[in-house]
Each structure stands twice: as C-alpha cells, then as structure tokens.
Amino acid sequence: MAWFLARLVLRNCFRHPLRTALTALGIIVAITAFGLLRTTVDAWYAGAEASSASRLVVRNKNSLMFPLPLYYRNRIEQLEGVKSVSYADWFGGIYIDRKNFFPQFAVEPLSYFPMYPEFVVPPEQMKAFQLDRRGAIVGRKTAEKYGWKVGDQIPLIGTVFAGNWSFVLRGIYHGADARTDESQFFFHWDNLNETVKRILPDKANQVGIFLVALEDPSTAPALSKQIDGMFANSRAETLSETEKAFQLSFVAMTEAILLVIQVVSFLIIVIIMAVMANTMAMTARERRREYATLKAIGFEDHHVVALIAGESLLISLAGGAIGIWLLYPLAAWVGHRFATIFPIFIVSDRTPLAAAAMAALIGVVAACAPAWRAATLKVADGFRALG
Amino acid sequence: MAVAEPPIVEIVGLAKSYRRGDQVVPVLQDINLSMTRGEFVALMGPSGSGKSTLLNLIAGIDTPDRGRLAIEGVDITGLSEGELARWRAEHVGFIFQFYNLMPVLSAFENVELPLLLTRLDRRRRREHVQLVLELVGLADRADHYPSQLSGGQQQRVAIARALVSDPTIIVADEPTGDLDRQSAREILDLMESLNERLAKTIIMVTHDHLAAERAHVVRHLDKGVLTDRIERPRARATG
Amino acid sequence: MTGVPLAYIFRNLWVRKLTTALTAGGMALVVFVFAAVLMLAAGLEKTLVETGVDDNVVVIRRSAETEIQSTVDREQASLVAARPEIATARDGSPLASKETVVLVVLPKRGSENPSNVTIRGLSSTGIALRDQVRIVEGRMFRPGTSEVVAGSRIAEGFKGAGLGESITIAGKTWTVVGVFDAGGSGFASELWGDTDQMMQAFRRTAFSSVIFRLAPGTDYARLRKVLEDDQRLTVEVHRETAFYAKQSELMSSFLSVLGSILSTIFSIGAIIGAMITMYAAVANRTAEIGTLRALGFRRVNILVAFLVEALLLSLVGGLAGLGLASLLQFYTVSTMNWQTFAELSFAFSMNARVVMQSLAFALFMGLAGGFLPAVRAARLDIVDALRSV
C-alpha cells in the first residue's frame, strides 16, 4: 500500500509539470534566500563566535573612544590568574579610498600574537615584523585583494590619528581555520605612540583596550570585577568583560537590523507557503472526483491525506534540497563579493537543517487545508460535478 | 424463484432528506426494497427522483436519516465512516457514469486498486487482475493509461475494477450514460453476462430503457417514493 | 473597454476565494516588505535632511570624517569663529558654536544592552543654531552646571535619560532637566549639556567641531577654500546638510542594496504564485474561453481579460500590503550608525512616492505572472476549447 501510494504521489507530481516546476522553483528561491539571510545573521555574529571566553577585554567605562593609561598594564599583569596582558588601538585609516575598508589595529608586537594562535604567521616573517618598528602584518584576504607582497610599502590616511602613515609589510597571516578573519591589519603600537606624542602630546601613552589572557577561563567574572575594582574612582575607570561579551555588545548595537533580517527570512517562508498552499488547493480541487472514487472503493481518509501530504512534501522537499545545494556556491560568491562587510561568510552546519525544516514545514502547512477538505469530503458530494 | 433465499439487500422504511438553507427537502421517503442474490435490478426515474441517492445509500457512501438497510444481514446504517470504508472495500463494486479511473494509473493498476485494501500478496493480486481483465476483454490493454483507451474500454476497465475484489453487490450509476450506442450495448452485454454467468448481484441506476431492459426487475422512483415494479422473469443460470 | 465585461473577471476572482486570497496574500507580503524597505530609506533620508540646516556649516579636523573622531584645538576654533562671513545674532555676537562631541555607553531601557550615545556639549548659541529643536518637557540646561537635556528618542530609549532621572558618566552625575523634540532629526538621538562642563569631565582640551551660520549672501565655496587652505588650520568644511547625509551613506546604501535584493527574490516567489494561479484559471475555464470565442470575442479580448484578472489580483495584494506597511509608521528603528558608531533612530516613513512605487511593483508582478497564462488562453483553438470538459 505504501509503495502504491508513493507511486501515485510521484505520478501526480508530473501531471502538471509546469505547475510543479514553478512551485518547486519558488521553493528553491525561498529556501536559498532563507539560507543566505541566516548566513548573513551568522556572519554578523562571526566575530563573537570566533572570540574566546578565556580572554578579557578591558576598556574605558565611558566608551571605547576614551583611552586607558598604558601603566594599567603592569597593574593588571600582577593579578593572580592573569597569564599575559597585551593592548591594542583601533586605527581606522583609509587605504587610498574610503571604500577599501579593512580593520587596522596598532598592537604590542611581542605579546599580541601569542594570544591569538588562530593568526598563523611564518616564524621568520614574525621575527622580521617584530624587529621593524614600521612593520606590519596583514591577513591573507586583504593582501590578495590589494596585491600586496611582503616588503611592500602600505600608505594609510589616518582618521582617528590624523596624518599620512606608511608601513612596510613584513608578514602575511593565515587563519588557523575557515572561521578566522583573514582581513585584519596590524602594526606596532609604539609606532603610533611616537607620532601621537609629537602631534597630540596629551593623548600619548594611552591605549584603546587591554587584552588579558587568563590561566583559567572560569575566573573571568571574578577577575573582571577585580580589575574594575582596582581602577574604580580613578580618572579612567574600566569596564572588563570577556572578549565574547565585548563582541556581542557590538552585535547588540545593530540588533534592529538583525531583527529585520530575521523577520524577513521568515516572511519569505510564509510567502512561499501561500504560493504552495495555493498550488495544493488547486490541485486537490481538480482531483476531488478521484479522491471520492478512492474513498468509494474503500480507501480511507488517511490514504487520501497521505496522497495530498505526500505530493506537497515531495515538491517542497525536492525544492528545499535543490535550494540547499545552491546555497553553498551562492554563499561563497556573496562572501567573496562582500568580503569587506562580512569577512566570515560561511554556511553553518545548522543552516541546512533549519532550511530543510522550513521546506518540510512549507509542505505540511500547504497540505493542511486541501487534506482536511479531502478527508471530510462526502463521497457522494465528490461525484457531483463542480468545476 | 420460489425458493426462499435470504435477501442480500434488505431495505425497510428508509428515508433521507437534505437541508437546503433552512428548508428540509425530503429526497427518499419510506423506501422498502429487497433483493436476492444474483438479482439484477434497475432503478429508473426522472432526475431529482432520488434514485442516485438510494444507490449511494445502498453502496454505503451516504447515510440515511432512518430506516433499516441491511446487506447480507448486516445493518450498515450504524457503521462509522472508517467501518463503512472497510465494509465497502469488501462488499461493494462501483461502476460510474464517467468511469472515474485514475488518469495516472495504467488499466492494470486501476483494476488492482481495490486489491490493495486486501491482504493478497503481489502475485495473487496480479492473477486476480489478469483474470478480470481477460473477463472484460482487455487483457491486451493492461499497460494502457485511461487517456489511451476509448470510453467503452475505460468503462470496461472500471467494470473489471468493480469485479476484482469479488464484492457482494455491484452498484452502477448510469454506466452507459456517457457512451455511444454501440459501446453502451457492449457494456450492457458485459454486465448481463456477469450477472448470468457469475451470478453477480447488480443494482443499476439508469435513464436508458435499453439498459433497463437487461435487468430482471425495474423499479421506478418518483419524488422519493418507489412506485411500480416491473418484473421480467428470464432464464438465468444458477451459480 | 470593449471586450469581456469586468464583472465577469471580477466574479471569477470572487468564486475562487481561497486561491485568490492565497495569491493576493502572498503578493501583499511581498509588497509589504518592498514598501517597508522603501519606508525605512525614506525615514532615514527624512531624518538626515531635517538634521541639517542648509545655511549651517560644520568645521572638523581634516580627514576626521565624523565629529567624534575630530579634534579642533581652542586656537583653531577661535580663528574659525572669528570669520567675518559668519552671521551675527541680534546682540552682535557671531552665530558660531564650539562643540564637544563624545560617545558614551548607556544601557537601553528594557534590554539593558549597552549602546553608544552621542553627548554634545554646546553653548546657548549652539542651541540657537538648531532651529528645529524645542524643549517639550522640563527646561533647557543651565550653563555651568551638570545638567543635561535629552533628545526625545534617547529619553524614551535609554535608562536614566528620562526627565528627572540622572546618569553617571565619567565619574560625574548628570541630571536630565529637560527633553527636547528635534523634529525628525538626528539630534533626537543625542544628549546635550554645557560644553565647558563636558570638556572638564571628559578631560578634553580641544573641541570636536565648530558650527556656524553663514551670513546672508556669503559665497560658501570661497569661504570653504579660504578655511581649508589656511596654513594655521587643519580643518575641513562641510555644509551641515551634506555633512549628515554623508555620515549615513553606508546605512543608506545598505538599505538600498538590501531592498533591491529582497524585492528581487521576493517578487520571484510572488510572480510564480500569480503564474500558477492564472495558468490554473485558464485550464479550468477552457470551455468558457471557447464559448466566449464562439460568441465572437477575439483573441485579444481574451488576452486582455486574463491580464486584467491578474492585474486586479495584484492590485488587491498591493493595497493589502500597503495597508499593512502603513502600520509600520508607528515604529521607530534605532540602530548603530556604522560610520559614527553612535545610536541613530529613524521612523518608517510613508509618502506618495513609496505608495506609487509599491503599487507599480505590485502591478508589475501581476503583469509578469499573468502574461504567459493570458497568452496561452488567447491562443486556444475554439473547437478544442469547446470540446474540453
């Protein structure tokens, strides 16, 4: 029986090839769009995903645009449970044109990279970088995008730190895995500080954030409190949190946009649900007489329901499968095209599952009304000619 | 004929009405009817007389408001939808005016449909289907789809489908209504031979006098009431 | 229209209520999304246009891009403020305001999520330069005190920013003594206080920007060149309107890219829905089409009848979608502007252009979905059509 029903479902699908194809096409588009939008949301969180809960970020309590004095470093380092402390400044320079965006940080060259093992730099390049005060290290993607090679001069125009800057590329880092951001640019914090001393003396010896590596991640809450307590009521109060929480607070600032994207990703599912429900309603209405015949012969309601639900699910799942299959090359293309906005644009493992669930949901919901009608159809009524 | 056989269809005081808006329209009033095994009954009457409704009630695809309706001694008026479906699968074979074949199934598969509701295995089903297709003279068309068959051939496939599970009664609703004269005659010949050679009990609704002539008994319905009864005794093979 | 009567077309839609509702419903959602994105872009534009006053000029440090990144030291600020091209107030003082702009982190009401809020330190001249700002609750802050006034969006959205509440920033407690309405402008997303107090609290020695009003008849382009070429100054000069528009370029282009991508994807779905519905309509009414043709209607009449049916369907969907979208006008979106890192609020805004574009979009979907089926209907052979049941 199951075998027979399956065969009948399959053949029914091909009775209106154009209608089936159009419906499936709609589902393909919807499922692919759903997957891409979900991946966009994931990309938004990629920075937070990749960040560690065993590192703390210490910043000025007022906001990130206020710096902290450099000497805080020693005081933090002396705390029990702190493995190492590094520091960084957001540079925000422009490479030739404002459109060429990539993140730039002035970092302390000796302590920064050991804290981020995901940035893989060949040892000799690292050495060359550490020895050159004007040196810089850049991610593979950015280097490839602008055709930079080790030894090249990189000019940047400062926005936060005014002036024309020039760096010598000493190394190119690779990500340890696909989820590492390969677009960042690093240079010596001392290089920055020297210029600041000259042009804005009262901003010298100040850093944007401290990065604190912990011996034991479970001590993060206690140490955060300890650090903030240590500098309470000073002229630069601190706010410490794990790197993950720090990144998430950035995401939260644009949560309205995230919300819109999420709402939209579900709306498209609802729209295609209406399209599919319409297809199934029309199909079932045309087959009323057949359902009545089957029931007259002795087939029961659940057989007829299985026929309708089967057809609906077959179309929606087939469309969903193709949609998911298309998602990967499309995501790769989007990731490449919008690399400056989304350095990490990878379809997560959960996305195809969610997309498949949505495809199944479309099939089930679309089948509901016609299946209910067919099940409650009185056999005698089914034979009355009606359209 | 004098031998007292238990009736295969026994209808006592059957009534059915429909609701149209807030008006109750009586369709059948106090129907009494009885059929014996191997009988071939034709129901005639003007449209709206309730003959199709009566046929639907006997076939168990509609339920009466009151009265007794027993097939082989079992009163089916009290059965639930599911029970009725199972009952139909076992006891009723249908022949429709518009054949009602599944367009996506071949002749063979259409005939096989009722057998899917039985416990027969694949091999046995195949045997049964081939047997009835031969009986209706379409063994060579088993792989054809309805759209590849003429109206008469489609109706023969439908008859094969009605026959294949060896039901207690066969109900036919205007079986020749959509056919040309020649095909209609062939279908009636076939039904007659089923009745005579296989002793199938048939109840048929028809407008067509030529069709009604083939039955043993012709009952007329008018405004929901059975009126006259014409018997046309004829030699019949006892099976 | 000489052709198939409209009543026939309309009733055909009415008879198949479920199908009509589902198809029009799908289209309504698509139009809703389309209109929503347009409304968002229109709202952002409205906010930016209203933030700037055309005669106002913003001076910031060269290549600083935003007031927050900019520092203009006292000396340079005074040089700028002393220009003769600056309009004067009734008392003869120049209409120029030296301002301090910083970002501080404040928790949002409800979610407690921290977000960056712009705090602007200004003088009474600075307030006078913003014609669109008016106090709606409480009063203006008094110079020389730690009083602040909050833009209406900030007062609503952030903890401690309501009238009579207070916030602690930079180790100092600031009391909110007033709430101001700033029209639809971006100032509604700012906190304002006394500039000297701010500089003290944030340990600033330099201003962020200088804002001034152009004296009537001033040649702006020339003034700009003079200021930017001045050896003593390292500044860039912008008209206020252009300055704010530029600050949201990224957000604007993001919205327009998002809008066009979504509209394209979504309309494919809706066009397919319309196509399926219309093909089925043609298939179900083949005999009717044959009858109409036999009665003397021409192919073109049939084509038009089905196109009109599709257009009617999409018009219903479009109107429903717009109706739904018009409810969005009660909502305000607040998000971080990527260019300034500061919170920016703007409302969904519906205007005639949004309405026209959305309806045109809906009709386009109807036309695109209905065309092929209508052609099929028109090309049916009379005899074949009549024979079909």
What pLDDT does C138 receive? 93
Instruction: Name the stretches of chain B with pLDDT < 50.
Output: 1, 235-239
Residue A211 distance to chain C (closest CA, Å): 20
Full-model pTM: 0.82
Q: Which chains touch B (3 or more CB pairs under 8 A)?
A: A
- Would the CB atoms of C265 and A33 count as touching at under 8 Å? yes
Any A CB within 8 A of C26 CB: yes
- Would the CB atoms of A293 and B94 count as touching at under 8 Å? yes
A to B CB pairs, distance under 8 Å: 70
pLDDT digits (tens, 9 = 90+) for A2-25: 888 898 999 998 888 988 999 999
What pLDDT does B157 receive? 96
Any A CB within 8 A of B98 CB: yes
Tokens 């340890």 — which residue?
Answer: A176
Of C65, C273, C284, the CB nearest to A159: C65
CB-CB contact of B173 with B95 (8 Å)? yes
pLDDT digits (tens, 9 = 90+) for A241-286: 998 888 888 888 888 888 888 988 998 899 899 889 988 988 888 8
Q: Which residues of A touch C284 (CB under 8 A)?
A: 286, 387
Helices (H), chain A: 2-13, 17-50, 72-77, 109-115, 123-131, 140-146, 189-199, 220-230, 243-253, 255-286, 288-297, 301-337, 350-376, 379-383
Contacts 24+ apart (CB under 8 A), A74-83: A75/A230, A76/A210, A76/A212, A76/A227, A76/A230, A79/A223, A79/A226, A79/A227, A79/A230, A81/A214, A81/A215, A81/A216, A81/A219, A81/A223, A82/A212, A82/A213, A82/A214, A82/A215, A82/A223, A83/A213, A83/A214, A83/A215
CB-CB contact of C125 with C92 (8 Å)? no
| C60 beta partners | C236
What pLDDT does B238 receive? 40
What pLDDT does B1 receive? 47
For testing the chain A interface, which of C14, C105, C199 should be mutated: the one with the most A CBs within 10 Å?
Answer: C105
Q: Which chains touch A (3 or more CB pairs under 8 A)?
A: B, C
d(CA A312, CA A306): 10
Q: Is residue B218 part of a domain?
A: yes
pLDDT confidence of A347, banded at 50, 70, 90? very high
Mean pLDDT of all residues in C131-158: 91
For testing the chain A interface, which of C22, C256, C267, C338 should be mutated: the one with the most A CBs within 10 Å?
Answer: C22
Of A19, A25, A162, the CB nearest to C61: A162
d(CA B209, CA C119): 98
Q: Which residues of A touch B47 (CB under 8 A)?
A: none
- Segment 156-185 of chain B within 8 Å of chain A by CB: 161, 173
- Would the CB atoms of B102 and A293 count as touching at under 8 Å? yes
Any A CB within 8 A of C341 CB: yes
Question: Using only C-alpha atoms, what is the Rg of chain A?
Answer: 30
pLDDT digits (tens, 9 = 90+) for C266-287: 888 889 888 988 888 888 888 8
Residue A311 half-sphere exposure toward CB, CA atoms < 13 A: 34
The yes-or-no verdict on residue A381 having pLDDT over 90 is no
CB atoms within 10 A of CB C73: 14
* CA trace torsion C325, C326, C329, C332 (10° rounding): -10
From residue A3, alpha-carbon distances to A10, A179, A261, A306, B122 in Å are 11, 45, 42, 12, 12
Residue B1 distance to chain A (closest CA, Å): 32
Ranges A287-291, A336-340, A358-362, C214-218: which has the least confidence: A336-340
Mean pLDDT of all residues in C97-120: 88
Q: Tell me the backbone φ, ψ of residue B139, rounded to 5 degrees.
A: -55, -30
pLDDT digits (tens, 9 = 90+) for A84-121: 999 999 998 899 887 888 999 999 999 999 999 889 99
CB-CB contact of C172 with C161 (8 Å)? no
For testing the chain C interface, which of A65, A101, A237 should be mutated: the one with the most C CBs within 10 Å?
Answer: A65
For testing the chain C interface, which of A97, A257, A340, A358 should be mutated: the one with the most C CBs within 10 Å?
Answer: A257
Mean pLDDT of all residues in A291-296: 92
For testing the chain A interface, which of C63, C285, C328, C371 should be mutated: the one with the most A CBs within 10 Å?
Answer: C63
- Would the CB atoms of A274 and C102 count as touching at under 8 Å? no
Q: How far apart are the first and last CA of chain B?
A: 13
Any A CB within 8 A of C353 CB: no
Residue A271 distance to chain C (closest CA, Å): 5
Q: For strand C147-151 and strand C172-181, is the pairing parallel, antiparallel, or unpaired?
A: parallel
Amino acid A226 reads Q
d(CA C73, CA C98): 10
Task: Tokens for B7, please give them.
Answer: 């009736």
What pLDDT does A54 receive? 84
What pLDDT does C388 receive? 66
Amino acid B112 reads E
Mapping DSSP to helix (H, G, I), strand (E, B) and coil, where does residue A49 land? Answer: helix
What pLDDT does A107 receive? 95
What pLDDT does A213 receive? 93
- Which chain B residue lies closest to A300 (C-alpha atoms)? B85
What pLDDT does B239 receive? 34
Residue C204 half-sphere exposure toward CB, CA atoms < 13 A: 28
Number of domains in chain B: 1
| A57 beta partners | A211, A241
Amino acid B160 reads A
d(CA B77, CA C70): 90
Task: Tokens for B105, please give them.
Answer: 């199934």
Any B CB within 8 A of A378 CB: yes
- Would the CB atoms of A298 and B88 count as touching at under 8 Å? yes
- Would the CB atoms of A254 and C169 count as touching at under 8 Å? no
- Would the CB atoms of C268 and A278 count as touching at under 8 Å? no
CATH number of the domain enclosing B163:
3.40.50.300
d(CA C343, CA B152): 78
d(CA A20, CA C321): 27
| A137 beta partners | A171, A186
What pLDDT does B237 receive? 40
What pLDDT does B232 receive? 73
What pLDDT does B143 receive? 94
Any B CB within 8 A of A300 CB: yes
pLDDT digits (tens, 9 = 90+) for B40-53: 999 998 888 888 89
Percent of chain A with pLDDT over 90: 60
Taking the alpha carbons of C76, C79, C83, C88 in that order, is the dihedral positive or negative? Answer: positive
More confident residue, A163 or A149: A149
Residue C254 half-sphere exposure toward CB, CA atoms < 13 A: 21
Q: Is residue B237 part of a domain?
A: no
d(CA B27, CA A46): 72
A to C CB pairs, distance under 8 Å: 143
From residue A144, alpha-carbon distances to A93, A357, B211 in Å are 19, 38, 87
Of B88, B103, B116, the CB nearest to A296: B88
Tokens 């912008």 — which residue?
Answer: C238
Any A CB within 8 A of B18 CB: no
Mean pLDDT of all residues in A116-130: 94
More confident residue, C135 or B20: C135
Q: Which chains touch C (3 or more CB pairs under 8 A)?
A: A
The yes-or-no verdict on residue C1 having pLDDT over 50 is no
From residue C216, alpha-carbon distances to A312, A360, C56 in Å are 71, 67, 11
Q: Is residue B1 part of a domain?
A: no
What pLDDT does C296 receive? 77
Tokens 């009745």 — which residue?
Answer: B195
Ranges A21-35, B42-56, C333-347: which has the least confidence: C333-347
d(CA B84, CA B107): 26
Of B82, B90, B94, the CB nearest to A296: B94
Helices (H), A298-349: 301-337
- Would the CB atoms of C171 and A233 count as touching at under 8 Å? yes
CB atoms within 10 A of CB A14: 10
Q: B63 is in which domain, residue-wise?
A: 9-231
What pLDDT does B49 receive? 87
Tokens 């990224």 — which residue?
Answer: C250
| Report for A103-112, C108-117, C161-170: range of highest mean pLDDT | A103-112
d(CA B199, CA B194): 7
Q: Where are the beta strands (DSSP E) in C198-297?
A: 209-213, 235-239
Q: Determine if residue C150 is left, alpha or beta; phi over 0 gives left, psi from -120 to 50 gives alpha, anything else beta.
A: beta
Any A CB within 8 A of B104 CB: yes
- Which chain A residue lies closest to B53 (C-alpha atoms)? A380
Amino acid C237 reads V
Mean pLDDT of all residues in A163-184: 91
Amino acid C125 reads T
What pLDDT does B3 receive? 54
- Which chain B residue lies closest to A2 (C-alpha atoms)? B116
What pLDDT does C290 receive? 86
Any A CB within 8 A of B121 CB: no
Q: Which H, E and C letters describe B25-72, residue by residue?
A: EEEEEEEEEEEECCCEEEEECCCCCCHHHHHHHHHCCCCCCEEEEEEC
The yes-or-no verdict on residue A61 having pLDDT over 60 is yes
Q: Which residues of A touch C65 (CB under 8 A)?
A: 159
pLDDT confidence of A76, banded at 50, 70, 90? very high
Mapping DSSP to helix (H, G, I), strand (E, B) and coil, where does residue B103 land? Answer: coil
Q: What is the DSSP string of B154-221?
A: HHHHHHHHHHTT--SEEEEESTTTTS-HHHHHHHHHHHHHHHHHS--EEEEE-S-HHHHTTSSEEEEE
